[in-house]
Amino acid sequence: MLIENMRMAFQAIRANRMRSLLTMLGIIIGIGSVIIIVSIGDSMRLIIEEAFVANGTTKLSVRIDEEKVKDVRESDYYTIDELEQIRGRFEDEIVYIDSAPDVRSRVTAGHSKMIFDFSGVDYNFPEVVPIVMKSGRFLTEAEVLGRSNHVVMDADSAKKLFGTENAVGRTFRTTIGGYTDEYTIVGVCEEETNLFRRLVFSLGQDEGTCYVPWSILTYPNDHFLLCRVYAKEDVDMEDFAKRLTAYIARIKNRNEEDFYVNSSIENSNMLSGYMAAFSAAIGCIAAISLLVGGIGIMNIMMVSVTERTREIGIRKALGARTEDILLQFLTESAILSAFGGLIGVVSASGLLYAVGALLQQKVVIRPVVVIVAISFAAAVGAFFGWYPARKAAREEPIEALRYE
Amino acid sequence: MPGKTEFSENAGKAGDELIRLVDLAKIYDTGAIKVLGLNRINLTIRRGEFVAIMGHSGSGKSTLMNILGCLDRPTLGHYYLDGIDVADLTPNELSAIRNRKIGFVFQSFNLIARTTALKNVELPMTYARIPAGKRTKRAKELLECVGLGARLSHMPNEMSGGQRQRVAIARALANDPPLILADEPTGNLDTVASIEIMEMFSELHEAGATVVVVTHEDNIAAYTDRILRFSDGCMISDEKNPNPTERSGKQHLSGLYGSLYRREEAAADAD
């Protein structure tokens, strides 16, 4: 009888195509927005995760908390010797350590001028952050120690500055630490291709990025705010952060609470938390639109029941039981909304993939979300279809037959 | 009784009571006043009879028709249909009775809109839980029988009034009910179609069916064997019609006899 009801329901839906479509519209939009919002949330999380992997998952930075500590002393900043001391103390756990120096400066190469972001790194930086070389090589230990004016530029910046990716051997002039000098490109690495991620991390269109030996940026200054550490993969980051901070506090003669610790795990957890909250908030709005869609279905089913009073009368006269009529109308509204949900899922997925392709961003649509969305739509239909269906089922055959 | 066909079983039992009304009354309670719709009706209709119920509007004939059709319940008294007292049945039990015992033919055809002739004829069998294959087969045979074999997939609005009423007759026969109840079956038809429909009922009667026709037209009632007249909720006369209208000789129902449904099969399907 269920199959029979589904057949009859499909027949009724087909017979009133336009009305069915309009009824489904609420559900289509509701489910569509749920899918889109959840997918945006999931995709954002993926982007953030990818970004943290790209930055190294074992990153940790410790600095004096200048907001908390009113009397910041000279000794609160790190010296090169201290960084070496920290490296020596945690030899078995630290892979990489530096002060994460960073300078922005105007660059001139022939007629082209650009703002560049110079990141000072050590020669073994590619061990902790995935940097893929396109041509040339990364910085060497000798270059770092010898403060050579050598840089590794990303392909995109090279293209903007020189008009070509093959910039190895090319030179430019810039001013760092008050000294204007000529710099030579020794390597070109892959740029950030993901348009969406570029937007998120606000990499300007007209700005370039490159890596230089940290020694160029720090000299002659020997006071560093940051101690940036990359630990080994298998290190328990929470425990390590604690011990590292304790050690730094001891050599600085400070309390542990006076330092601000920033770890990538913490950041990613925090951002994921924000994303989850964001998804939940928007999800509520989407749920409201589903509710509105459900009420739309109820409204149309009420109209449909009234309109088809005579049909109900005929069916009852021919032997339809109360349950038969109830089931028929219930199936109709459930199919209507499940079908609407399906259309919503398909069109939302299409839209998401189209936008994803445009932004060169992988789109995450979890199957469980799709299944839950469609089942939820059917449930909404059945729930809101219940009252009209019961109304239909309770019609007295004689009254229903008399209805004009 | 294997080998028996369509109405042969009914024919065999001709003379048995199919309908018995005992002191049946219907009172409409409109709140302010109570209206007596039917007043102490005592009536017996035997199997195989062809009966006309006549009366002007307000005479109680529609009320009676609704009660006979188990669409409405009497206020007082008893109505035995095929031996069952239907006065005490629940709405669902009444549905089952209508489904199995009564074939309806209405004035306004009452086919389901936007649904093919075939599906319309299948409907009573659907509610009788007859498997799809079997019911489609029988529905086709019934439509062929009423001369609409070429119009199986036509929608009601694509057919003439006469054709629609023939679909309704096919539908009424679907579950092989002991009683065919027709409410002003020719009220919306032209003369030619009216004659056609009445001759069909006449043929069904001849095949052994019990047919009750509610009408206010004498020439329609003239086809029947027995005419009951109603006025103000009372039965004022119950007469035999010695000379039912002769049929034109044209056969309207084909293949009905000895080809279709068997009661034993129906019983088997229902289990």
> What does the domain layout of chain B look like in residue ranges?
8-270
pLDDT of B101: 93
In this complex, is the C-beta atom of A398 within 8 Å of any C-beta atom belonging to chain B? yes
Q: How far is CA A145 from the centre of its chain?
A: 39
Contact B38, B76 (CB under 8 A): no
Comparison of pLDDT for A18 and B104, the residue scoring more: B104
Rg (CA), chain A: 32
Kindly determine whether residue A322 and residue B96, on different chains, have CB atoms separated by under 8 Å.
Answer: no
Residues forming a β-bridge with A231: A94
Residues A47 and A176 in one domain: no
Last residue of a domain, one of A221, A247, A263: A263
Q: Flag whether pLDDT at B5 surpasses 50.
A: no
Tokens of A32: 């569509």
Contacts B153 to A, Cβ<8 Å = none
B chain contacts of residue A398, beta-carbon cutoff 8 Å:
66, 71-72
Q: Are residues A205 and A85 in the same domain?
A: yes
B72 vs A398: CB contact, 8 Å cut-off?
A: yes
Residues 6+ apart with CB under 8 A from A133: A152, A187, A188, A189, A190
Question: Do A149 and A235 lie in a common domain?
Answer: yes
Give A196's pLDDT tier (boundaries 50, 70, 90). Answer: low
How high is the pLDDT of residue A72? Answer: 82
Closest CA to B106 of B183, B198, B169: B183
Res B4 pLDDT > 50? no
Q: What is the pLDDT of residues B25-76, one digit of tens each?
A: 999 887 888 888 898 999 999 998 999 999 988 888 888 999 999 998 899 9
**A-B contacts at Cβ under 8 angstroms:** 61
Element (DSSP H or E) covering residue B237:
strand B234-240
Question: Range of A167's domain?
Answer: 59-263
Strands of the sheet containing B179-183, edge to edge, are B102-105, B179-183, B210-215, B50-55, B226-231, B234-240
pLDDT band of A176, cuts 50, 70, 90:
confident
Closest CA to A135 of A214, A173, A191, A183: A191
Closest CA to A82 of A220, A229, A272, A235: A229
Measured between CA atoms, the residue of chain A closest to residue B128 is A319
Residue A274 pLDDT class (50, 70, 90 cuts): confident
> For residue A308, what are its two tokens?
């088809």
Q: Are B66 and A398 an interchain contact pair (Cβ–Cβ within 8 Å)?
A: yes
The pLDDT of residue B153: 93
CATH architecture assigned to B8-270:
3-Layer(aba) Sandwich (3.40)
Q: Domain check: are A258 and A273 in the same one?
A: no
Residues of B within 8 A of A321 (CB-CB) are 92, 95-96, 127
Average pLDDT, chain A: 84
Say if strands B76-81 and B84-85 run parallel, antiparallel, or are unpaired.
antiparallel
Structural contact between residues A286 and A37, judged by C-beta atoms closer than 8 angstroms: yes
Q: Does A2 touch chain B (CB under 8 A)?
A: no
Residue A137 and residue A193 in one domain: yes
Of A310, A318, A397, the CB nearest to B124: A318
pLDDT for res A153: 92
Residue B262 has pLDDT above 50, yes or no: no
- pLDDT of A10 reads 82
**For A199-254, how does the pLDDT look when each residue is reduced to its tens digit (9 = 90+)?**
555 555 678 888 999 988 887 777 888 888 888 888 888 888 889 899 988 888 88
Q: Could you tell me the pLDDT band of residue A192, with boundaries at 50, 70 and 90? A: low
In the numeric block, the tokens 């010797």 are attached to A81
Task: Verify whether the Cβ–Cβ distance B127 to A324 is below 8 Å.
Answer: yes
Residues A362, B225: Cα–Cα separation, whole Å = 82
A303 and chain B in contact, CB less than 8 A: no
Query: Which pLDDT score, from 0 to 100, does residue B170 have?
Result: 94
- Domain end residue (candidates: A263, A297, A318): A263
Per-residue pLDDT of B215-249, as tens digits, reads 999 999 999 999 999 999 999 999 999 988 888 87
The verdict on a CB contact (< 8 Å) between B98 and A319 is yes
* The pLDDT of residue A276 is above 60: yes
Q: Are residues A158 and A246 in the same domain?
A: yes
Q: What is the pLDDT of residues B117-142, one digit of tens each?
A: 999 999 999 999 999 899 999 999 99
Neighbours of A252 (CB within 10 A): 17
Distance CA B250, CA A328 (A): 42
What is the number of other CB atoms lying within 10 angstroms of the CB of residue A156? 18
A49-53, A106-110, B254-258 — which is least confidently predicted?
B254-258
Mean pLDDT of chain B: 86
> Please, what is the angle between helix A264-307 and helix A367-393, to 10°?
20
Q: Which positions ≥6 away from A62 have C-beta within 8 Å?
A: A226, A227, A229, A241, A244, A245, A248, A259, A260, A261, A262
What is the interface pTM, i.e. ipTM, of the complex? 0.88
Report residue A404's pLDDT band, with 50, 70 and 90 as the boundaries.
confident
CA distance A382 to chain B (A): 22
Q: Which residue of A has its CA nearest to B70?
A: A317
With an 8 Å Cβ cutoff, the interface of chain B facing chain A consists of: 66, 69, 71-72, 91-92, 95-96, 98-100, 104, 106, 110-115, 119, 123-124, 126-129, 132, 171, 175
Option in B71, B126, B175 nearest A401 (CB): B71
Same domain, A77 and A186: yes
Backbone angles phi, psi at A73, to 5 degrees: -100, 165
Render pLDDT for A38-97 as a digit per residue (tens, 0 to 9). 888 888 778 777 777 766 678 888 888 888 888 888 888 888 888 888 988 888 888 898
User: Residues B61, B214: contact at Cβ < 8 Å?
Assistant: yes
Mean pLDDT of A172-191: 89
User: What is the model's pLDDT at position A30?
Assistant: 84
Give whole-number Cα distances, B88 to A248, A283, A396, B94, in Å. 92, 53, 16, 9
Q: Are residues A33 and A73 in the same domain?
A: no
Yes or no, beta carbons of A1 and B129 under 8 Å apart: yes
Structural domain total, chain A: 2
Same structural domain, A300 and A182: no
Q: What predicted TM-score, i.e. pTM, was given to this entire model?
A: 0.68
Which residues in chain A touch residue B126, judged by CB atoms under 8 angstroms apart? Answer: 4
Say yes or no: A319 contacts chain B, CB-CB below 8 A. yes
| A246 and A286 share one domain | no
> What pLDDT score does B192 carry?
92
CB contact under 8 A, A11 and B175: no
Claim to verify: residue A88 and residue A183 sit in the same structural domain: yes
Q: What is the pLDDT of residue B264?
A: 41
- Residues 6 or more apart whose CB falls under 8 angstroms from that of B8 comprise B207, B208
Spatial separation of the C-alpha atoms in residues A398 and B73, rounded to whole Å: 10
Q: State yes or no: pLDDT of A145 exceeds 80.
A: yes
Of B260 and A106, which is predicted with more confidence? A106
Q: Pick from A247, A263, A279: which residue ends a domain?
A: A263
pLDDT interval class at B260 (50, 70, 90): very low
Averaged pLDDT for residues A184-210:
70
Same domain, yes or no: A154 and A64: yes
